[in-house]
Amino acid sequence: MLLPELTRRLVNGAWIANCSRAHRRFTTALGLIKKTQHHRLLALLRRNAHTRFGEAHGFAGIRSIAEFQQRVPITPYAALAPHIEAIANGETGVLTAEPVRLFQPTSGSTSGTKLIPWTAGVAQEFRCGIDPWLHTLYRRRPELLRGTAYWSISPPSTAPRTHGHLRVGFDHDSSYLGFLGQKLFSLVSAAPAQVAQTRDITEFRTRTLLALLADESLSLISVWSPTFLTTLLDEFLARQDEILALLVANRRSGSRKRAEYLQSLLRTGHTPGLFEQVWPKLAHLSCWTHGPSDTYATNLRRHFPSVEIQGKGLVATEAFVSLPLLANADPVLAVTSHFFEFQSPETGQLSLAHELVAGGEYDVIVTTGGGLYRYPLGDRVRVTGFVQDAPCLRFVGRGNLVSDLFGEKLHGAFVQQVINRALAEQHIQARFALLAPVPAAASTAYTLFLAADTIPSPETLRQSLELGLTENFHYAHCRHLGQLAHSRLFRIQEDPHSAETVFQQEMVSRGAGWGRGGRGAVA
């Protein structure tokens, strides 16, 4: 049941007031990041000194960051896997003194699905990033207090328990908010939690659309990948008669009147800004906007030309790295969440948060309350400025996302730049773009699978793509040797969002949730 506006204001106000303590702590820490990070690390080590991992690495005797770096090596998932397997089988005190509540699944490069331990400590660390973001956002955009919010939902995991009876994954993004935050959020949520129990993706989208279309007070949408939302909206446009008929049959009060209003809008055609009329109170849209998601975030503009679209910052399954704070700056390092180190991809040199320099690119290494110690995320960021002492970070791409069949060494971030540039030359708005090596009888060729409304000159696009790829010396060398054929273009003609569905299904099979797909990797 939709709450009256006054009640929504009170509930949202209480929710944001609950975020104020973390916001004050965060804003204070922006000018004290060296001290904050030092205290953050030592507190984690003290708390976990008597775990199996802590005793093996002498946590109890560590008094400085330098000692920590000497005693604990950089520890990728493969090195943690035996410990995580022990936890999954029911053992305790392995990586953390706190009990592991559940595992969060994420995709792995070689291990298929990675299981990331989720404890009360790491949940609190995530809230140390989420709460300052929400507090800042709602204070800056008070009109959000009047409406409802949609936070992305994922269908349930197909492997909900480990051998040790630990759950794998939670269903709703509101699980990040903590007990009180979840209770308050449930009162102003645009979609009921029951939607998350739907396993079939078509039914899941249908139920999600019905909930959102019935809500004329929607003011905030928060999703991970922008393609999650564009695919949802495109599906509505493709099935509008069916969806609206279901809305009319809905027993919810006002559904018939709402369906009639939507039908009147659709009679005018699918004009830009149509969905701003569907949800006239929508004021803010949060999603990935950097790295491979840049093109898809831009595509949201055809649906929401005047709604504010804000980048989420870098939020991985394993760690909360950065949060949007200022309207005119890239996301700021979440200095009160975890202990961070940054490694130069060129030299391997390590830097701490207070040692980063503007313009530098770094791979992120985290130590968290979930039992990840000096864990390389595989995410690369660029420093674009500072808020007091804290660096502003732009997500560049996956640091380890490299396609290398014949020695061509195509890095994901480089490929994304090439694709973006080639599309921009012809003002092409891609609805889906994926570059992948495709074997052929003669030789393998990298093929751009592209869904777009118009492609003025496919041959020019193909040549631009090839020219860009050959800027990579190793790719050009493989082409010269005949190991790779000229890059190709495959235009997706039918049902553009079906390609995204197939991609999402593949990512889900690797452990990512619907609409997440890692950090939005395209190439």
Query: Which residue ranges of the chain lie beneath pLDDT 50?
Result: 109-111, 514, 517-523
Residue-level pLDDT at 161: 64
Q: Are 307 and 409 part of one and the same domain?
A: no
Q: Does residue 385 form part of some domain?
A: yes
Query: What's the pLDDT score for residue 490?
Result: 93
Instruction: Decide the pairing of beta strands 284-287 and 308-311.
Output: parallel
Per the CB < 8 A criterion, the answer to whether 162 and 103 are in contact is yes
Give the dihedral sign, CA 127/129/135/137: negative
Q: How many CA atoms lie within 13 A of 136 on its CB side?
A: 20
Q: Do residues 201 and 82 share a domain?
A: yes
Q: Are residues 445 and 392 in the same domain?
A: no
pLDDT, residue 155, reads: 55
The helix (H) or strand (E) run that includes residue 123 is helix 120-140
Please give the sequence-ordered ranges of beta strands (E in DSSP) within 228-306, or none if there are none: 284-287
Percent of the chain that is helix, strand, coil (3-state, to 5): 45, 20, 35
**Is 114 a domain residue?**
yes
Query: 396 with 414: CB under 8 angstroms?
Result: no
Residue 497 is assigned to a structural domain of this protein: no
Structure tokens at 187: 């009162």
| pLDDT for the residue 111 | 46
- How, if at all, do strands 339-343 and 350-352 pair? antiparallel
Number of domains in the chain: 2
Contact between 291 and 414 (Cβ < 8 Å):
no
Q: What's the sign of the alpha-carbon dihedral 119, 124, 125, 127?
A: positive
Query: Does the residue 506 lie in any domain?
Result: no
Please check whether residue 30 lies inside any domain of the structure.
yes
Handedness of CA 276, 153, 420, 317 (dihedral sign): positive
One domain for residues 321 and 458: no
Residue 307 lies in a domain: yes
β-pair partners for 351: 342
Tell me the two tokens of residue 427. Answer: 């003002």
Q: CA–CA separation, 341 vs 72, rounded Å?
A: 13
Residue 59 lies in a domain: yes
> What's the CA gap between 459 and 200, in Å, rounded?
39
So what's the pLDDT on residue 521? 32
Q: Is the pTM of this model over 0.85?
A: no
Phi, psi at 436, each rounded to 5° = -145, 145
CATH of the domain at 16: 3.40.50.12780
Task: Classify residue 514: in a domain, yes or no.
Answer: no
The domain that holds 456 is classified in CATH as: 3.30.300
What residue numbers bound the domain in which 325 lies? 1-398
Same domain, 329 and 468: no
Q: Which pLDDT does position 425 carry in this prediction?
A: 94
Q: Are residues 136 and 12 in the same domain?
A: yes
What is the C-alpha separation between 281 and 219, in angstroms, rounded?
5
Please tell me the predicted confidence (pLDDT) of residue 380: 92
**Are residue 364 and residue 411 in the same domain, yes or no?**
no
CA–CA gap between residue 223 and residue 225 (Å, rounded): 6
Q: What is the pLDDT of residue 172?
A: 55
What tokens were used for 88? 């999954």
Q: What is the pLDDT of residues 10-56, one digit of tens each?
A: 988 998 998 999 999 999 999 999 999 999 999 999 999 999 999 99
* Residues 196 and 178 reside in one and the same domain: yes
Cβ-based burial of 110 (10 A; exposed 0-12, middle 13-18, buried ≥19): exposed
Look at residue 496 in the predicted model and tell me its pLDDT: 53
Q: What is the pLDDT of residue 353?
A: 98
pLDDT of residue 110: 44
Question: What pLDDT shows up at residue 523?
Answer: 29
* One domain for residues 385 and 409: no
Single out the residue in 348, 364, 398 at which a domain terminates.
398
- Predicted pLDDT of residue 405: 77
Question: What is the pLDDT at residue 376?
Answer: 96
Question: 488 and 352 in one domain?
Answer: no
CB atoms within 10 A of CB 329: 14
166 & 36 share domain: yes
Distance between CA atoms of 49 and 38, rounded to whole angstroms? 16
Whether residue 417 sits in one domain with residue 390: no
Distance between CA atoms of residues 391 and 145, nearest Å: 30
Domain final position from 364, 379, 398: 398
